[in-house]
Structure 1
Amino acid sequence: MKKIALMGRSEAGKTTLTQALKGEKIHYHKTQYVNNFDVIIDTPGEYAQTHGLGHALALYAYEADIVGLLVASNEPYCLFPPCSTCTANREVIGIVTKIHAPDGKPERAASWLRLAGCKKIFYVDSKTQEGIPEILEYLKEDGDVLPWETKPEADGKKRANELPQEESQ
């Protein structure tokens, strides 16, 4: 799986998205330092909001295959200036979070990400899992098996990547 570095302001939903991508139970956790997991780098929002700490984000981008810029649909403004993705030597995708927030404007957030230079935009609600499979599919590399690809179908049929019973013993 491609490694992704998640960047955005505080409360944009980076840690919640991390939990959703890892299949964990969603619970609030304030990120106070960079969490460099196996395929996800979760960064504190203060790094994006503070000029002096922003340089650290560039360093963590080098450790990832893809950079994900997050903007919550209910944010009043965007931290990322126009054409800011051109400074990265990695692919940069946009992720609009909190798409079902009552005061959210997902299309406005997506337009800010497009102005920043994101060519690919994902819309997610980490609490309902909406949009999570699309991001996982995008990060998938040849040979990766996603969680839902290993479970038998509800009607008892096996998926293509499961071994027949006699071969698995």
Structure 2
Amino acid sequence: MKKIILMGRSECGKTTLTQALKGERLQYEKTQSMNYYDLIIDTPGEYAENKALAGALALYAYEADVVGLLLSATEEYSLFSPNIVSLVNREVIGIVTQIDHPEGRPEQAKEWLKLAGCEKIFFVSSYTREGIEELIDYLTKGGERNPS
């Protein structure tokens, strides 16, 4: 299975997605620092929101096979600059979270992720588990972790 690092703003669903991918009970937990699991790196939203902390995301991306840029379907705007994926020498995928939210606009989030440069985009709800198996299948395709 490929190791993935999850990046996005606070409360976009990174930790909840981590719990869903690991098959754990979903509960709110504020991520205070980098959480480094066997196959998932869960990052604090402040690292994506604050220019002074963003360098840590670049460093931790080297520990992963895949970079997952997360945008909630409820976002009013995207933190990710156009073609930001060109700054990473890893595979980058887009993940639209909270697709089950009644005020969500998953298609808008998809367009922002495409603008950022994501070619592969997943739509997930950690609560209904919609899209979770597809994401797991994608990460496990090819079996073992890719060599770094």
- Give the shorter-chain TM-score range: over 0.9
Question: 1:142 Cα deviation (Å)?
Answer: 4.0
SS in 1 for 2:53: helix
Question: Structure 1 stretches (4+) deviating beyond 2 angstroms?
Answer: 141-144
Identical aligned residues as a percent: 63
**Letter matched to residue 28 of structure 1:** Y
* Counterparts of 1:118 and 1:55, CA distance in 2: 20
SS in 1 for 2:130: coil
* Counterparts of 1:91 and 1:139, CA distance in 2: 11
Flag structure 2 segments of 5+ consecutive residues without an equivalent.
none
1:96 aligned residue: 96
* Counterparts of 2:54 and 2:143, CA distance in 1: 35
Question: 1:103 Cα deviation (Å)?
Answer: 1.1
* Counterparts of 1:38 and 1:3, CA distance in 2: 8
- Bigger RCO of structures 1 and 2 (CA < 8 A, at least 6 apart): 2
1:120 aligned residue: 120
TM-score when scaled to structure 2? 0.95
* Counterparts of 1:66 and 1:143, CA distance in 2: 14
* Counterparts of 2:73 and 2:8, CA distance in 1: 12
* Counterparts of 2:6 and 2:96, CA distance in 1: 12
- What are the within-5 Å matches in structure 2 for residues 130-141 of structure 1? 130-141=130-141
* Counterparts of 1:116 and 1:62, CA distance in 2: 19
Number of corresponding residues:
144
- What are the within-5 Å matches in structure 2 for residues 49-64 of structure 1? 49-64=49-64
* Counterparts of 1:75 and 1:109, CA distance in 2: 7
- What are the within-5 Å matches in structure 2 for residues 138-153 of structure 1? 138-143=138-143
1:157 aligned residue: none
- What are the within-5 Å matches in structure 2 for residues 70-81 of structure 1? 70-81=70-81
Provide the aligned C-alpha RMSD in A. 0.9
* Counterparts of 2:12 and 2:60, CA distance in 1: 18
1:105 aligned residue: 105
SS in 2 for 1:96: strand
1:164 aligned residue: none
Question: 1:79 Cα deviation (Å)?
Answer: 0.1
Question: 1:18 Cα deviation (Å)?
Answer: 0.1
Flag structure 1 segments of 5+ consecutive residues without an equivalent.
145-169
2:37 aligned residue: 37
Question: 1:141 Cα deviation (Å)?
Answer: 4.3
Question: 1:143 Cα deviation (Å)?
Answer: 4.5
1:106-152 deviation digits (Å, cap 9, x = unpaired):
000000000000000000000111100001000004456xxxxxxxx
